[in-house]
Amino acid sequence: MRKKAVCLMSGGLDSTVTLVMALKEDYEVHGLTFDYGQRHRREVRSAKKIAEHYKIREHKIFKIDLNQIGGSALTDHRITVPKGKTFHEIKESKDIPPTYVPARNTILLSIALSYAEAIGAEAVFIGANYLDSSGYPDCRPEYIEAFQKVAKLGTRCGIRGRPVEIRTPIITFDKKTIVERGAQMGVPFELTWSCYEGGEKACGRCDSCVLRLSGFKQAGIKDPLEYGR
């Protein structure tokens, strides 16, 4: 039987490159996308298109309304998404921006872990990435290592010696490398969506757009998305 993996798919650049790396390892991929009450559903649509493009075995859209908790610009519409920072301002800032969703990756990984155990998957792939990022604590290697221990001790399969492995193949990459690796693997960048807003075109000014654009620029590759208002 083919080995299975659950891949977290946000519809963005990082998770799509990660997905393709899982496919290259010949995993039977079960995609998992969260409809968590984010500002817009555009990223869910992008994830669906990517799942279709790669004809993955299954693509589950899991509904969980994090607006029930709030506490972030992504889940509470009264909080503003910051704009206009430069790549270096984002990268060097010691502040965690208001787009941080409290314990988000722990919630997403816990559901992915549950799904992986339920279907007998060996691994969960997540496109966490810390180097060129907004400094979210739950994207760091030491955090992932701690979650790996939870996966080992808190599941039936884990205590029986077959813990679900948490795979983060791009965690040490900078954005330039992510774009280059994606290009080498033929990732359809035009289907991905990184902008925190859900407009017709990507805004180009939120942290997520700035990080993405900088990665494409440094890689000398043109981002096929349209930017503007």
Which residues contact its own copies by CB under 8 A? 60, 62-66, 68-71, 96, 100-107, 109-111, 113-115, 117-119, 137-138, 140, 142-143, 146-147, 149-156, 158-159
For its own copies, give the closer residue by CB, 68 or 80: 68
CB of 227: closest distance to its own copies in angstroms?
30
Take residue 96 and report the two structure tokens written for it.
Answer: 């965690």
Among 65, 158, 77, 50, smallest CA distance to 107 is for: 65
Intra-chain end-to-end CA distance of the chain, in Å: 48
For its own copies, give the closer residue by CB, 54 or 100: 100
Among 11, 13, 53, 41, smallest CA distance to 182 is for: 13
For its own copies, give the closer residue by CB, 14 or 223: 14
Residue with tokens 């096929």: 224
CB of 181: closest distance to its own copies in angstroms?
26
For its own copies, give the closer residue by CB, 91 or 104: 104
CB of 157: closest distance to its own copies in angstroms?
8
- Distance (Å, rounded) from C-alpha 21 to C-alpha 7? 10
For its own copies, give the closer residue by CB, 17 or 113: 113
CB of 136: closest distance to its own copies in angstroms?
8
CB 201 within 8 A of CB 229: yes
Which residues face 166 on adjacent strands?
A: 124
For its own copies, give the closer residue by CB, 146 or 185: 146
CB of 173: closest distance to its own copies in angstroms?
20
CB of 75: closest distance to its own copies in angstroms?
9
- Distance (Å, rounded) from C-alpha 51 to C-alpha 194? 16
Residue 177 CA to chain centroid, in angstroms? 16
Q: Is 156 exposed, middle or buried (0-12, 13-18, 19+ CB in 10 A)?
A: exposed
Take residue 191 and report the two structure tokens written for it.
Answer: 């289907």
